[in-house]
Every structure is written in structure tokens, then in C-alpha cells.
Structure 1
Amino acid sequence: MKLAVSGTERRTVRERFDCLKDAFRCIQAGSCPSQSAADMADVIFSGVRGLPGQDREKAPAGYRHDSSMELTYISVTLVEKVTSSLTSQNLAPAVALYCVEILRVLFQDMDLMSQLVDHFQADDQIISHLAAKSVSTCVVHYLHQTGTVSPVWEQKCLQAFHSSPPGAELDACLWSLTEVLKRLLKGAHQGEILGKLLAAFDCSLSALCSKFLPAERSEAGQRWMDCTSSRHWGTTFCLLLDLLEVLTASSLICGAGVCLKSQRLTHLHSSALLTAVSCCSQYFVKKRALLLLKRAVLQKAGEDWALGEMLFTGQKYEHFSSDMSMLSHSVLTAVAADWLQSVQVDSASFFGGTRHIRDDGGQKPDCVMLRAVSLLLLKSVELHIQTAAGTAGVDRATEMSGYLHSLWAFLKRHSIQLMEVTHLCCWVSLLFGEQDDDMMEAAKALLSIFLHHRLCSGLDESAVLETTCASGCNPHCHFLLLLQSISFDHSILLDFLISTETCFLEYFMRYLKYLRADQQGFTAACERISASDRPLSLQTSLAASCGGDMFALTCKAEPDQAEASSCVQLACAGLRLVEYANSDESDPENMECQDEPGTSGCDKSRFSGPPLSARQKQYESSGSTGLLSQHDSTVKRRPEGSLLQVFQSEQTSRPNMAGQMTCDTSARAVLCLSELRDVVTRLQTKKLFPYNPSSLLQLLAQVLNRSQPSHLSHFNK
């Protein structure tokens, strides 16, 4: 090895650069470089080590450091390129053999891994990161090839987790382990390999989290004050939060396959994470910790990088229920101790600083923080009432209302727009705007809270609706405001039903079951929403102030037009999953029925069955949306007495009166549901619907058939 290195050192710096660049281009193009594998390994190794003493002396004074760094950059990058190309298995056989020989010489004969991990603590952040990236790629490659973890890398990380202070070395180890776990999870290697890797780091990760996230609240608060004085602390802590999210995601993806303490650290240290949100002086750290807790309570850890269908295996690990209960208990305990008072919400920022949303100079709030706090509390309350702790009783109902009022006070304190809202049920639409997934989660949680309050409050139905409307969780109001936000467009509800991106199906089924038994409450909600809409002037909602493209508008008509005008609806944001117009008729013979024999109703949740994304691609490629287009045109051609005709006649023939807007809201809502039922029925008949919608259609039919207002009776014929 010494002779080979000496031969390499006789090359000039320019020759080494040229050799490395030529090798990079050749492997990129799928061909072998002119140098032998052994010679190329020599050049790479010398580059990773940096310029030897003789070359540093010969180089010009201003060029010595730059040349050494650049040679290391390209050498470390080339190692990552060679390894990733082998892992992807897209090389020609001759090139693959050439790369295998390079890696054999580098890692077996020259012990390159030791050189790479030494760069973890380099002062140059680029070298430290490139080394971590290259090492991670190599670790994953050899895990796939041999099923063993690199002992040099493992030892380096273990040592850093136990004793290294915040800084470059610990950062590189945290990032590297996070990257290795992500690649294994994305590659669906959740079994023995992942379990072996997690087991190797289980104790050290627990010790690391105990150091950064102490259990005692008073000790944690003091720890944040001490640690934030270090300029490296914020970056290191955020890298730890990234690792915690990957570990949490692994517990969801692997289910019962792997169950280690390190996978539960987010839940076990949830109280300390809440303390970090309130006590840390660095806002980006507060925000990152809060988003981790939000994803944990929503069971969406890893949603930014994991494949959607991977996140839910249907199996839960052994301690899942107790961990979720612990998380919700930590949140509710903190809220009861005035945690919301200490949560900071800065002005939203973008790549230009901060911008104003009002002429009086007020800055728009960070809606990401507002939404995260809201969902964290709502889902915690929902989890709480689903456990044994959520027993019935008037005191329990009062406790739940107290949590909601604490949330409303927090939101109003940080949002001028929400301060102006008199009907609290409107806050969901205003706050979540075009964030459909979060909006559906909030609506589902509020529906659960409402049903629990209804069960244990001891009040009659009308009194329950009044009290819950005062708390902002009347399910009828939420549903009607959702319909308003999509302009009563049934095709958008269809998008929600066939999408895996929201929990709309679960929410919709639960709401329809309640609506079936409470038509009067629905009518009362129509009156309440119409009354709350009319006095408000034309205004831009919080959704627009949060930087979205959707504007929630309410209309105050001129006095002479008040009786004849109707509410201006919220503009619909985002693209539909399918285009309902300008498409050809699909070929039914090319489509496969997704209904399983013996399956009735909506037994398949959005998490079960074949990945919906694959089915959607199949539908789109087959032009299946022509069926929906045909349905829409059929509706427009319906004869007199049809749903659309009834609705239009309601708009034009009825005299102007105070209750007109209430009737319009009811009529449009029922029309929307009726058209949704029609299009789902048609898709089911053609075997184009992605799951069995029998239960959904049955519920829709029952709701429509029980509509009480006389002017809606036409819809049921």
C-alpha cells in the first residue's frame, strides 16, 4: 500500500484533479475510466486524506488550503457516487466489477472508513457533511450486501452519542444515522436488517435523549437556558429531532415487526419536547419540536419522505396505545398548567423578510405554528376521550370545554382575523384554509369531542348544540362551512373520497351517521351560519393572510338588495385529482373492479387495500373521467322536476324573505349530497370506484330520505 500511495503522490495536483473528474464522468456515463481500479483507489484515498506535506509546500501560498479542500471534496463525492451507483444496480457488468474492485481496495486494503469518519469533526462544514453523506451510502450498501454494520462507523456514532458535545462531530453522526434509517425504510428493508441496526444504537440513543430532553420539567427549563448559549446547540438539537421523527416513523412502518425503546423516544420525552417549545430561545427550534409532536399525535411521522402507503401497516407495536395515551396526557397536563401562554408565535417570514397584511402595520402570524398547536391539542383531547380516562360525566364534559376555550383564547391572542369572529365554529375554515389534510383531521377530532360531550353532558339535543356551538365544535356548522368553502361542488367531495391524502372518508361516514339522527340540528345550523354571514362586510379570511390562494369571503349586501342576495362562497383552492370535463369515455373492459367479494360498505379505510395512488394512475391513463363528465352533462340535461331544476326554482321563484338564505343553504347542501350519491352510484355501477361504497351510499340515501324541510322533499323523489 505504501508503494502505491507513493506512486500516487508523484502526481501533480492538477493530474489528480483530472483523474478524479475523468472517473466521475465515466461512471456517470456508464463506462470504465482509463485508470486501473487499484490506481483509481490510490488517487481517491490520497484525496480523502488531503494534500501530503510535499505538495502543500510546492503549492502557492494562497492555493495550498483551497487545493487540499477541493481535492478532498471531489474524492469524497466520488466515493459516494461509486457506492450509490452499485447500490442502484444500474451499471453495466464490466463497470460494476470495476466499482466493486475500487471499494474493495479502499475499504479492505486502505481502511478508508476510518479516514471518512475522522472528517466528521472537520472544521470545514462542507467536508464534514460530504463525509457523512458518503459514509451513509457505504453503510447502506454493505448492509444490503453483507447484512452487517460497519464497526468503525458504529463505534464513532456510539462514542459521539455518549460523550460528544453539540458540534460538528455529533451533528455528522446524527445526520448519518438518520440518513441510513431513511434509506432502509424507503427501501422497504424493515425486517432483520433494520432491527439489528436499531438494536445496536438503542441504549446510546436513549442516553442521548435523556441528556437533551430531561424528564423533570424544572430541570428541562434550566437545561434550555444553559444549552441555548452554545451556538452549535440549535443545529444539533434540530438534527436530533429529525432522528426522532425517523425513529417514530419506523415504529409506524414496521408495526409489530420491531419494537425498541429508541422508536418510542418521541412519546416518552413528549413532556420535555413541550418544555422545549415554551422555553427555548431559538424560534426555529420551538417550531421544529412542535411539528414533531404534531406529526406524532397524527401518526404522520415521516410523511415528507416516506411513501404514503408505507406509513400504515395495519399492525401496531406493543406499546402503541400506552405511548399515544402518554403523549395526549403530556399535552393536556401542559395546557392545564398554562403552557399555551408561553408558546411564541412570530410573524410569518419568507425569502425577503416579513410582510404586512393590514394597512395598520399588523404582521401576519405564523399560521404553521397556529395550526400545529391547534391540531396537537384537538387530537390529544380526542385520544384522551377514547381511552379509559375519558369516562362520561358532567365534570368530564366541562373539562373538555375548558381545553377548547383555552385554545380559542390562544388563537384570538395571536390572530386579528380570529378576534373578529363571533361564530367560533368558523375558526376551522379560517385557520386551516387550503390545508385539506389538517382541516379534515381537525374536523374529525372536533366531531369526536362533540359526540363525547353529547354523551356525558346530560343536556338535551338542542342545549348540547347551543353549548358546543359556543365552544366552536358544532359538527353541522363545520360540515356546512366545508361545503361553503368548496362552493357546494360535489365533485370536490368526490376528490376527497378517493384521495389517500386526507381522513375525509372516516370523517364523512361518522358525520353522516350523526346527521341521519339530527336533521333539526342541521336546519338550525343553516340558520345560524346564514345569520352570522349576513352582518359581516367583505373581508379576506385568515386563509388568505397565511399566504394561500384561497379567500374566504362573506357578503354584506346593500340595503335594497339584502333580501335577494346570497352569501359569497369561498373560492376553491388547489387542483382536483381528476378532471371532470373535456375527457373521453373510459373503456370499462380495461378497468379492474376493486370491490372484494364479501366486502360491504366502506369497510376499507384509506389505509387498507392496494395503494390508491396506483389505482388513480390507472384510472387517469384509461380516461375514466369521461364517466364523470358524462354524469355532469346528464345532470344539466335533466328534465323539469330534477334536482337542479328544483334548486334553480328555489332561487328564482321564492319571494324575498328573511329565511331565504337559510333555505338556500339547506337546499344547496342537500343538492350537493344528492349529486355526490349519483356520481358514486354511477362509478360503482361501472366498477370504477376504488373501494366498495355500499355503506356510504346507504348512509347518503338515509340522510336524504329523512330531510325534514318541505322545500327539500323534491330531492328525495
Structure 2
Amino acid sequence: MKACFEVLEQLYKKVLLGATLENESHDYIFYLNPAFWGQDCPTATASECFHRHGVQGRPQPPRAKSAAIPVASVCLERPSGMRSAREVMLLQLTVLKVMVTRLLSAETDSHAKATYRDIIRILLKSSDIDSTLTCMFQNSDKLLCHMAAKCLALLLYFQMREEIALSSSWIAFCQTNLSEYPENEKAVYCLWTLTFIIKEILKDTCSQKAEILKQFLTPFDTVLEVFYNSLFSQHFESCQDTSKIINSLIGFLELLEFLTASRIHLKLHFTCQRIFFLKPSCVLGVVTWPVQAFVKRQFIIFIKKCLLWKVGEDLRGGSGPALMPPDQHLDADMLALAEAVLHAVDVGLLRTLSVHGKPPCFGGEEVHPARERVPGADHVILRAASLLIIKSLEIKFQNCVSANEMKVDLQNFMAELLTFLKPHLQPPLQSHNPCEWISRVFIEQDDDMLEAARASLGIYLKLIGECKATESLTQETETWKHHTHEYGYNPHCVFVFLLKNIGFDPSVLLDFLISSETCFLEYFVRYLKLLQKDWTNFFTICKYFDVTESKNNRSICARSRPTELSPSAALRRHRNARASASWASDASAKPPSQPGTCRETSAMLQAESPSPPRASQSLVDYESSGDSEVEGTDQCSANSIQVSLHQEPRKKFQDTVGTSGDKTELSLEPPSRPLVPKQPHTPFSADSDTAPDDVSEVGMSYRTLRCFQELQGAVDRLQKKNLFPYNPTALLKLLKHIEAIYNESMDAL
């Protein structure tokens, strides 16, 4: 055994480096066959075992050739003469795993690949290695079981790549164990092996991976459906050993994610790929089981990924959904999933979902004993549950034609969601403007926040389109607009809260535009196209924000400042009071003394505001004609995908920002000349001897447009230097048009 271990150590070092082997391929077969060391050769020397078993009738490899391989110091504290059969088998499996990995890698030398391929092919033909590795699943040694499963998965994947028929014994083993669950405990290793193979297929860059996956899934299509039904039909409360169920749940959830990802991206239609969409209530039911929080968290996140088309995102090298042609079958599956989620919420999912307990921490869930854990909700679950509802509503509304049905659903489900969130948000949401919920819930997760904002905007656009098509009376439309505030999905409020959260910092918006990790480009373009048509409502909402901020500031100043004012300060307060009264009178004939109810908010938001002149021409949407939201959205998705395809200019941009000494070139500060005239009214400013220069002391509409100006200038400068990762021409046109609307509306005051 000493000689065999030394040869395996030397072989491991060579294969790890991807080096060409000096000996003939047959000379390595004996050392790599686990059957020799797992059965009747636990203590024999390499020479004795070799002569006892032989390999295709070939003599033992010459000692000189074996010694020619440089010895690698991979070993270990125990003297080499005392190596156990377990250590030899673990090293064998490691060498096999690394050899197959090197063989599948494009970086390995072609001569070395030829030798590795020859060795693996001979090993597969000369021994029943599939059965040998499968038998190791019964071993009580968990490390040996894991290594055997990983090595078997790689060998099976190699067989499919080389168009070698899969072992019938292994297929039968998986079919038997999966169909006999939960009585059979070896099903978890079958799940792990299947998951690994499907993952490798999805990662493969070859053009035939859809055919490879089709060949692989054919024998398991029916049995995986049987396992799915058996796994989720168990009564968790009555099980004595719940750890086995949890292991099976976690193992199958990973497999289910890759099956679903292959369903979306490879356009296959096996039942096992669609089983989650066909029976989503089984997975949703786990959320109500009395299992650990991390299990519920993983299942909710999985459902969220499916609704956002982000399953398997790690295999695509980006988090944004890939641009794909329409798929009616997939759209039907997504609609079924969305309706199942809404049905679960309707029957009380949120009322039974507990988000208390230990919130997740970086690196685990335990806190150092010397520190106290701050009590609070699990915001991972809060974010995922919120996205489930808002995204499911959007998907359902895309396939819904009744405006009344949409209004009823919005009222019911958004009220349920806001009720669910209310006790978990501290400080509580503003009762007069619940639209803040998106910014508050998703403050720590930019990508989810923008997904929620995009879904909310999609709901608004769909509903307003249906209202315009079916309603002739403006009174009903105005009533519906009030509901958008009451139930937290008014797009202008959502966007203003987003800007407030980032401090109206254009550099954050620029980062969102450059990054391929969020859907901000699509959301931003769709919102700007809405803003140019709905400027009046936006301006009214900004005034309402100004009134609210003014009242808050006055309350703070009254508690912290002396009552006596200087003459100049008193004069400015008088002017500001007049301006406040003017704006408030525009907003409402009788401003509420305490804006605490939605009815009062609705009355204020009904106010008339200056109507901007009609734009001279429609905005240029992304290489499409008309005002079709669908066309604009599709093209924006394409542009967001292009971000990841332009890594070189993005790198140039990052390098330039990091090394350039010319800070003014890439600064986000506006040009010296003002692009927007100073706001004629600067209400609600703090008392001081000079006029307010800080942008935070002027109205929301001005701060928003100032942010747009600086963003426009930064994008324009980067584009001129060819540092922007995609063509932003249409985006710049939108920003310039919004600026023109603002200037004209200010001139009309």
C-alpha cells in the first residue's frame, strides 16, 4: 500500500498542474480503480494487489517509470507505511475528480487531455466503476460517500460529453431509491448526483447542451414527479427524525432550481422541469411547516427567483434575466405560479408566516456571546414575501383584461401586504403615504428594491391603460388615483422616496445605470416616459412632499429655536408662509391640519397644478416607434443585457475614475451655467440671514430635476469618452425632454 499511495501522490501533483503523464495509460488504471482498495486489498502492498487482480492482463508498471514522476508532498502526518485503505480510496477519488475536471477544462494542454481521456475511457470499460462508486453510498463514512458521489457525477457527465451510454445499473439505482422515498435513505445521494450533472450541463458552453440534457432527463422524468409528490406529502409534525426530511428538502430544492432554470433557458418541456409550476402549492406549503427559519427562507427565495426569472443566475454570470424570445408555454406556467401565490396569500399565508426570531447574520446566525442581538424581524423573508405579492400581481395583471378585477385584487392584496409589514417596520410607515414601503423594506437590497419598483410601475401602467380604455368619466379615474396612494403603489411617490433614500445623489443613479446587477435601466426609462405624460401629477405630489417636510421642520424648529426672530428672519418667514399658503391652496381648498388619513391625502392630491405645455414631439423610445411600453421595455432589457457584454469599456471607465487626476472631467457637478433656472419659490426654508443655497432646502421637483441634470451631464461626458458601456442616446433625450417640461412649467407660474 505504501508504493500505491506514493504513486497516487505523484499522480495527483501532475494532474493538478495539468501536466502530461510519462507512463502509458494502462499503467495508471490499477491505481485509480477504487474496487481494488474497497474490498479484499486493505493491507496488501501495491505489487501484491496488482498481481492478484491484474489489469487487462498487463504486467505491473516498471518501477523506474513510476519513480520518474516527481514526488509531491501531499501527505500527511501518519507514516507512509501505515496508510489505511480509507486514505488510499479518498486519494484515488480525488485524483479521479481532478483528472476529469482537467479533461473538461479548456485550459488543459491538448496532449495531457488525450492521456487523461484515454485513462478514463479504459477505466470505464475495464471495470464496473459506476457500481463500485454507487456501493460507497452505503458507507457510514460521510466524507467517503460525498467524494464517491462527486466523482461519480463527473464520470457520468464525461460519458454524456463523449456520447458514451450511461450505466444502466446506475439509472436503475436512482429510479429505485427515488421511487421508494421516504423508506429509502439513499435518495439524497441520487439527488446530489443529479443536481451536479444538470449544473455542469447548464454551465457548459457547447451548443448541444439542450440535447445532452434531454438525453439525461429522459430516464428520470416520471420518477422525479413521484419523488416530488412523496416529499411534499409528508406530515412534518408527526416525523420522529425531522433532520432526514430537512436534508431531503434542501437537496431537492437545489435540484428543483436547476430543473426550473433549464426549463426557462433551454426551452425543454419535461414534466420534471415543469413540476413546480404544475404543483406550486406543494412548495408553498413548506413555508407554513414548523421547520427552521433557514429552510423557509430558502424556499421563499426560490419562489421569488422563479417569479423574477432569476433561477440559475449564478450559471449565467449575471443577475439580470437573459433576453429570450416569447414562450407561450412558459408564460402560462408563470401565470399559474403567480395565481398560486396569490391564492396562498388569500387563504392566510402571510398571517401564518413568522418572521420573528434570529435574523440572518453575515457568516451564520450566531452572535458573539459578549454582544447582544438586536431584536427584529428577518428582513430577508420580509423582502421576499413582499416581492412575491407585488410580482405575482404584475404577472396576473398582464394577463387580465378587467379593470374592475384588477382594482379589487389590488385593494385586497396590497392591504394584506401593508398589514403584514406594519408591525415589522420601525419607525412605522407614514399613515398618510404608504408608498414609502418599498424604500423601507428594500433599503438594504438594491436589486430587489428596483424589481419591486418596476413591478409596481408595471401594475400602474397596466391599470391606467385599462381605465383609459374603459372609463369615460374622469371622476372614477381620480378616485382610482387616490387608491394608488392608499395602497402604496403610486409611481411618483415610489420614485421620490427612492431619490430621498439616496440623498438625490446622481452618482448612485449612474452606478445603477452602469451596473448589470439590477433592472434600473428598464425601470428608469419606463418611469421617464410616464413622467413626460404625467408631469402634472408628479408636480402635485412634489408639492405635497414639500408641505409635509415643512410641517416636520417647523415642529423641530419650534422645539429647538428661540421664539424671537431677527427682522430679516421674520420677513423671510412671512414670505415663506405666504408661499406655503399659496402652494397649500393650490393643493387643497382647506389644507388638513394633521395629514393622517388617506381621505385627507386623497383630497390634497386631487389639487390642480400648473399644466405644462404640450411637448413638441414624442420622446424617442429605444429604436421603436410610438409609445408602446412593451417595445420600449423589450429594448431596455436588451440594453441592460448589453451592459454585461461591454466589460472592456466598463473596465476603462473604472480605471479612469480610479487613476485620473482630472477630477472635473468625470465629476457629477453640473456645468458652470445653470441648466435649470432657480426655482421662483423656495418655500419652507430654514430661518437664516441669507437665501438657501443648499439644494436640500428647495422643493422636491427642483431637487429631482437637479439630480437629473447632473446625471445627464455625467452620462454625456462618459459617452463622449467612449467610457459608457452601452449607447445612452435615447436615455439622454428623455432626460433633456423632462428638463424642458420642467423649465416650461416654471415659466408658466
Give the structure-2-normalised TM-score.
Answer: 0.75
User: What residue is the counterpart of 2:188 in the other structure?
Assistant: 171
* CA deviation vs aligned residue, 1:328-363 (integer Å, no higher than 9, x gap): 11011111111111112132133575569xx99861
Give the secondary-structure state (helix, strand or coil) at the position aligned to 1:55. coil
Query: Which residues in structure 2 correspond to 1:435-454 (within 5 Å)?
Result: 435-454=445-464
Identity score, percent = 28
Task: Indicate whether 1:127 and 2:144 are aligned.
Answer: yes
Letter in 2 for 1:617: E
User: What residue is the counterpart of 1:529 in the other structure?
Assistant: 545
Query: Which residues in structure 2 correspond to 1:509-520 (within 5 Å)?
Result: 509-520=525-536
Letter in 1 for 2:532: R
The counterpart of 1:617, out of the listed 648, 657, 666, is 648
User: What residue is the counterpart of 1:500 in the other structure?
Assistant: 516
Task: Indicate whether 1:55 and 2:55 are aligned.
Answer: no
Give the secondary-structure state (helix, strand or coil) at the position aligned to 1:516. helix
User: What residue is the counterpart of 2:616 in the other structure?
Assistant: none
CA-CA distance at 1:366 after TM superposition: 1.2
Computed over aligned residues only, the root mean square deviation of the Cα atoms, in angstroms, reads: 4.2
Which blocks of at least 5 consecutive residues in structure 2 are unaligned? 46-79, 564-568, 574-619, 626-630
User: What residue is the counterpart of 2:69 in the other structure?
Assistant: none
* CA deviation vs aligned residue, 1:25-55 (integer Å, no higher than 9, x gap): 1222344567654343212225774263662
Task: Indicate whether 1:26 and 2:27 are aligned.
Answer: no
* CA deviation vs aligned residue, 1:640-699 (integer Å, no higher than 9, x gap): x44497799998999889xx9784322110111223334444555566544444443343
* Structure 2 CA distance for partners of 1:70 and 1:360, relative to 1, 3 Å: closer
* Structure 2 CA distance for partners of 1:48 and 1:245, relative to 1, 3 Å: farther
User: What residue is the counterpart of 1:585 in the other structure?
Assistant: none
Query: Which residues in structure 2 correspond to 1:304-703 (within 5 Å)?
Result: 304-308=314-318, 312-345=322-355, 346-350=357-361, 351=363, 353=365, 363-388=375-400, 390-393=401-404, 396-418=406-428, 423-454=433-464, 455-456=466-467, 459=475, 463-532=479-548, 559-560=560-561, 604-607=635-638, 611-621=642-652, 632=666, 635=669, 638-639=672-673, 641-643=674-676, 663-683=698-718, 689-703=724-738
Task: Indicate whether 1:261 and 2:240 are aligned.
Answer: no
Distance in 2 (alpha carbons) for counterparts of 1:282 and 1:199: 35
* CA deviation vs aligned residue, 1:387-446 (integer Å, no higher than 9, x gap): 13x5112x5313312101111111123344446776322221121113111111100111
Task: Indicate whether 1:283 and 2:271 are aligned.
Answer: no
* Structure 2 CA distance for partners of 1:81 and 1:460, relative to 1, 3 Å: same
* Residues 647 and 671, structure 1, Cα contact 8 Å, conserved in 2: no
User: What residue is the counterpart of 1:68 in the other structure?
Assistant: 85
The counterpart of 1:116, out of the listed 133, 140, 162, is 133
Distance in 2 (alpha carbons) for counterparts of 1:165 and 1:295: 28
Distance in 2 (alpha carbons) for counterparts of 1:373 and 1:561: 48
User: What residue is the counterpart of 2:4 in the other structure?
Assistant: 16
Letter in 1 for 2:351: Q
Distance in 2 (alpha carbons) for counterparts of 1:422 and 1:634: 34
CA-CA distance at 1:502 after TM superposition: 1.4
User: What residue is the counterpart of 1:180 in the other structure?
Assistant: 197
Q: Which has the greater radius of gyration?
A: 2
* Residues 676 and 739, structure 2, Cα contact 8 Å, conserved in 1: no
* Residues 181 and 230, structure 2, Cα contact 8 Å, conserved in 1: no
Letter in 2 for 1:212: L
User: What residue is the counterpart of 1:42 in the other structure?
Assistant: 30
Task: Indicate whether 1:235 and 2:267 are aligned.
Answer: no
Distance in 2 (alpha carbons) for counterparts of 1:310 and 1:511: 19
User: What residue is the counterpart of 1:573 in the other structure?
Assistant: none
Distance in 2 (alpha carbons) for counterparts of 1:453 and 1:488: 29
Distance in 2 (alpha carbons) for counterparts of 1:260 and 1:235: 25
* Structure 2 CA distance for partners of 1:267 and 1:661, relative to 1, 3 Å: same
Stretch deviating more after TM superposition (466-475 or 329-338): 466-475
* Structure 2 CA distance for partners of 1:27 and 1:647, relative to 1, 3 Å: farther
Letter in 1 for 2:645: A
Give the secondary-structure state (helix, strand or coil) at the position aligned to 1:188. coil
* Residues 428 and 442, structure 1, Cα contact 8 Å, conserved in 2: yes
CA-CA distance at 1:481 after TM superposition: 1.4
* CA deviation vs aligned residue, 1:468-508 (integer Å, no higher than 9, x gap): 22211121111111112222222322332233221112212
Aligned length: 639
* Structure 2 CA distance for partners of 1:322 and 1:262, relative to 1, 3 Å: same
User: What residue is the counterpart of 1:296 in the other structure?
Assistant: 306
Distance in 1 (alpha carbons) for counterparts of 2:43 and 2:482: 82
CA-CA distance at 1:530 after TM superposition: 4.2
* CA deviation vs aligned residue, 1:133-153 (integer Å, no higher than 9, x gap): 111111222211226434343
* Structure 2 CA distance for partners of 1:66 and 1:244, relative to 1, 3 Å: farther
User: What residue is the counterpart of 1:212 in the other structure?
Assistant: 231
Distance in 1 (alpha carbons) for counterparts of 2:739 and 2:257: 44
CA-CA distance at 1:636 after TM superposition: 5.1
* Structure 2 CA distance for partners of 1:327 and 1:642, relative to 1, 3 Å: closer
Distance in 2 (alpha carbons) for counterparts of 1:54 and 1:286: 45
* Structure 2 CA distance for partners of 1:187 and 1:535, relative to 1, 3 Å: farther
